[in-house]
Amino acid sequence: MDDSCRQVLRELQMFLDGESADELQHIISRHLGDCGPCHDQVEFQREVRVLIAAKCTDCAPPGLMERVCATLWPS
């Protein structure tokens, strides 16, 4: 694993979310075209996201978000 692979793995979640800067998105996309192991890792992460989205359909109980926010950021 070289430095460019490490950078891809560090930025992977933001890349998959489309939240990386445009230039970084381009760099990572180009790297994925050239690096089989990184490409495989990205595809695996995409599959995991699809499975989670399909299986995790429960909603948080009412008021949970407010309680979490109040705990994290008390007034």
Tens of pLDDT along the chain (75 residues) come to: 788 899 888 999 999 999 989 999 999 999 999 999 999 999 999 999 999 999 988 888 999 999 999 999 997
| Domain region containing 55 | 3-72
Residue 63: the pLDDT is 95
What residues contact 12, with CB distance under 8 A and at least 6 apart?
A: 41, 42, 45
Q: How many domains does the chain have?
A: 1
15 to each of 11, 35, 47, how far by Cα in Å?
6, 16, 15
